[in-house]
A and B are shown apart, each in its own frame.
Chain A
Amino acid sequence: MGLDKLRTTLKNKEHILELKTPIIGASGTYGYNDEFEDFVDFNYFGAISTKGMTLEKRLGNDGERIFEVQGGMINRIGLENVGIEAFVKEKLPVLKSKKIDFILNIAGNTIEDYKQIAHIAQQNDIKAIEVNVSCPNVKTGCLEFGLNSEGLFGLTKEVRKEYDGFLIVKLSPNTSDIKLLAKAVEDAGADAISAVNTLRGLGIKIDFDGEKFYKKSVKGGLSGPCIKPVALYMVEEIRSAVNIPIIGMGGISKLVDLFEFISAGADAFQIGTANFINPSICSDLAYELDDFMVKNNFKDFEELKRKIREA
């Protein structure tokens, strides 16, 4: 597709993930990828991370799920998904036949859940999985693993045993020491870290009709441009603690955001909330990045990263 300069290889020992471009659609903002075709051109995507998949089908949360805030949004979808079995039966064949590169994002309540999904991913020759240990929207489960390094080490190790493809662990920014978590993940055998998931947030809207106040509120995960400084901070912390590749995300919506994430230590990117504003943002960014590199004579993405990090 003519974007040869953007070829990206994420590598940890013998595990390799080849990406057409370093730009990946973030989990939860593309569904299962097969529904998005009217709106995007997948040729410019490195990959797309699926909606978080659990062992059993989940209905997600009742009530309002979206709350807009200045520079971002709060969501409490609650991991609504079809369940891994239905995914394998109904969605996987579509993705494979359309040759859409994807990363299976997974979540669970217990270590056993994660192991079973990882096993199914292995059996179905899924090239990469992203383990969500950090969803702020469900009451039990993945949240706890994401917040302490022993739990995270154990979880990653068990998943590694079941799965021999490219293993990405996605970290939560809702922690006091992300370096410890990152180190635990690397030590347990993960091939890459993606960061960050959404921040915990509370949106409140108070209306007054002249007599009475009315309140609307949504508690959930904050995403979008407003979280970028936190995400950059986290990526830089992680970079200082580990050597494995980092997939950076959090508020990316324009070309210079990519440069900032590279500078903090990211090797590839995910784009989430910005898709809701511009459904073709991923291909637009890939295109702009390529254009920038051609115009300024960068040989490849590796050279671009090196030059940015020298700054």
Chain B
Amino acid sequence: MDKIKNDFTGEIINIEKIAKDTCKMDIFSSLKQAYAGQFISILCPNKTLRRPFSISNLDNNIITILFKLKGEGTEYLAGLEKKDKVKFLAPLGHGFQIKNKKALLVGAGIGIAPMLFLKKNLEKEHIENYFITGFKSKDETIEGSDETVIGGSVLDNLENIIKEKNIEIIYSCGPVPVLKGVCEISEKHNIDCQVAMEKVMACSIGVCRGCVINLKKNNEIIRASVCKDGPVFEGKEILWD
């Protein structure tokens, strides 16, 4: 029988705790290419549905994901060890559309995961960028940005950064209130903005319509799936609940 494209079995080559309730997992598989903002969806045998995670790096067939412990699915993953196998679908969805514009990257909480990959890709293309992250507390902090806000809101300083650094585009990932704030600020300053959304998923490949959000395009409301049409969307197209 033909092997299904996009369906992978990988081997964990490293798993470690990198912050409070946060793990980093490196998976070796035959997946060679992916774009920042795309994700993988991992089978957790103790759960009915797969669990989606952003690709935080992909290098020499090694995918890195960062995940926060939330419930049974992520607890299962955190309990895995080196050499254990994981099954996943990848690479899923549409990632960030890299523009040759001075970029501001905003990652809130575990939303840092895809932004690390994006930063690397921007740098490969020599695109100037500034990366700001925000975490609830010091022990939850993950490294890799140019500026880290601990405790407060990552949004507070954005307008200053935009002005000081002549930012032309914002890319962001994090909880909805942050993404919404980022979109509002970019609209106010009339700059482009792309955000990575999250929604509970069932199929994770665009067929069940379980993960839709509302977009406005040409004055019409349309439903877009986060898993296939997204997870990255143009900020100005999103209709927030």
Chain A residues within 8 Å of B, Cβ to Cβ: 28-31, 35-36, 38-41, 44, 51, 59-60, 62-69, 71-73, 75, 77, 80, 224-225, 273, 275-280, 283, 287
Contacts and interface: CB of A to CB of B under 8 A. Distances in A.
A30 B207 CA distance: 5
Interface string B1-32: 11011110000000000000000000000000
A35 B207 contact: yes
A60 B210 CA distance: 10
Contact of B210 (A35, A41, A75): A75
A60 B202 contact: no
B202 A279 contact: no
B150 interface: no
Contacts of A69: 48
A106 B36 CA distance: 39
A276 B202 contact: yes
Q: Which of B6, B50, B205, B221 has the most CB of A within 10 A?
A: B205
B223 A71 contact: no
B80 interface: no
B223 to A, nearest CB: 6
B223 A73 contact: no
Interface of B: 1-2, 4-7, 43, 47-50, 89, 200-212, 214, 221, 223, 228, 241
Contacts of A224: 48
A38 B202 CA distance: 17
Among all A-B residue pairs, the 3 with the closest Cβ atoms = A31-B207, A66-B210, A280-B4
Contacts of A35: 205-207, 228
A105 to B, nearest CB: 13
A3 to B, nearest CB: 10
Contacts of A39: 4-7, 89, 205
A59 B221 contact: yes
Q: Which of B4, B48, B89, B228 has the most CB of A within 10 A?
A: B48
Contacts of B208: 28-29, 31, 66, 75, 77, 276
B202 A75 contact: yes
B211 A66 contact: yes
A60 B208 CA distance: 12
B212 A73 contact: no
A40 B203 contact: no
Contacts of B7: 39, 279-280
Contact of A80 (B1, B5, B6, B212): B212
Q: Which of B5, B50, B207, B221 has the most CB of A within 10 A?
A: B207
A166 B6 CA distance: 35
Q: Which of B5, B6, B209, B214 has the most CB of A within 10 A?
A: B209
Contacts of B1: 41, 44, 283, 287
A29 B210 CA distance: 10
Contacts of B209: 31, 51, 60, 65, 77, 80
Contacts of A277: 43, 48-50
A252 to B, nearest CB: 14
Nearest to A44: B1
Contacts of A71: 48
Given A41-B2, A66-B208, A68-B49, 5 more contacts: A35-B228, A65-B211, A277-B43, A277-B48, A287-B1
A72 B202 CA distance: 11
A69 B71 CA distance: 13
Given A30-B207, A273-B48, A67 B4 contact: no
Nearest to A275: B203
A68 B44 CA distance: 13
A224 B7 CA distance: 21
Nearest to B5: A38
B48 A73 contact: yes
Contacts of B205: 35-36, 38-39, 279
Nearest to B44: A277
A155 B46 CA distance: 42
A296 to B, nearest CB: 20
Nearest to B87: A278
Contacts of A73: 48-49, 202
Contacts of B48: 68-69, 71-73, 224-225, 273, 276-277
B5 A60 contact: no
Q: Which of A59, A65, A72, A276 has the most CB of B within 10 A?
A: A276
Contacts of A60: 209, 212, 223
Nearest to A273: B48
